[in-house]
Amino acid sequence: MSAGPVRQPAADAIVDVRSVRKVYHRDAAEITVLDGINLQVPTGEFVALMGPSGSGKTTLLNLIAGIDRPTSGEVIVAGTDVGRLSESELARWRSRSVGFIFQFYNLIPVLTAEENVELPLLLTSLPKKQRRERALTALKVVGLADRARHYPRQLSGGQEQRVAIARAIVADPAVLVADEPTGDLDAKSAEEILGLMESLNRDFGKTIVMVTHDPRAAERAHTQRHLEKGVLKA
């Protein structure tokens, strides 16, 4: 398996976005979603991306997570220029390097919490016993070891999001990206999730890039960056 093109990121930046443009085509119209974005996120940083709807926050997050490609420019994450990887190389890279947290949790309803968390490990060569052990460890980190055998429908929204976070960290990725992780939660659950993310950043050294609309959530991050009409404001 190819490790992908290794690029030198900006000093100490685990995420290095350079002059990125992203253009979508709708029929004959050309829509520029991101226009010349430059963003450096140092290792261990907790960054909140804010901005109005349609400003390009999620698109930028998707580029950093390697689930979309820039029209031009470079996105270097953990030393890899993700835009230059093939589809299958990119998939393997995602499984190792990035943990994704969705707004609506996106757990697989037919799998238990433990099986959901174990899912990314199915792509590794770990034996079943070790996979289960690591999944349980991840559930312990998010405080849900006692709910390992529960199905998503048996969990509250906050608990589901914690399981989703456990799934994001189980393969021990360097970077966590979160797309409005508290957007579907009540205030109390949102607070718990933000506390958990802070803990992952502080105690486990995870670099976190979070998209949010919520100013209170953004305050928990070390750095806040604002996007407007596809341009990153200072």
Partner 1 sequence: MKFLPYILKHLRRNWIRTGSTILGMAVCIFLFCTLRTFLRAMDDARTLGNVTRLVTRHAVSLVYNVPLSYEGQIAQVPGVKRVAISSWFGGSLPAKKESQDAQKGAGHGPDFSNFFTNLAVEDEPYFAMHPEFKVPDEEMKAFREDLRGCIIGRGLARQFGWKAGDTFFLESFIPPYRRRQGPFEFVVRGIYDADKVREPAADDRVMYFHYKYLYESTGQRVGAGLYVVELQEPRQAATVAAAIDRTFQNSEAETKSETEAAFRADFIAMIGNLALLLNSIGLAVIFTILLVTANTMSMAVRERRTEIAVLKTLGFTSRQVLGLVLAEAFTIGALGGAIGLGLSVLIIRAMTKAPGVSGFINGFPNFGLHWSVTSQGLAIALLLGLLAGLMPAVSAYRARITEMLRQV
210 touching partner 1, by CB under 8 A: no
115 touching partner 1, by CB under 8 A: yes
87 touching partner 1, by CB under 8 A: yes
Contact of 139 with 163, CB cutoff 8 Å: yes
CB of 57 to partner 1, least distance (A): 13
Contact of 98 with 4, CB cutoff 8 Å: no
Residue number, 16 or 115, with CB nearest to partner 1: 115
134 touching partner 1, by CB under 8 A: no
Q: Which of 46, 48, 50, 38 is nearest to 9 (CA)?
A: 38
Distance CA(42)–CA(47), nearest Å, equals 9
Distance CA(67)–CA(128), nearest Å, equals 28
Residue number, 16 or 68, with CB nearest to partner 1: 68
Cβ contacts of 186 within 8 Å, gap of 6 or more: 157, 158
CB of 6 to partner 1, least distance (A): 19
Residue number, 62 or 207, with CB nearest to partner 1: 62
Q: Which residues bind partner 1 (CB under 8 A)?
A: 62, 65, 67-68, 87-88, 91-96, 100, 102, 104, 106, 108-111, 115, 119-120, 122-123, 128, 167, 171
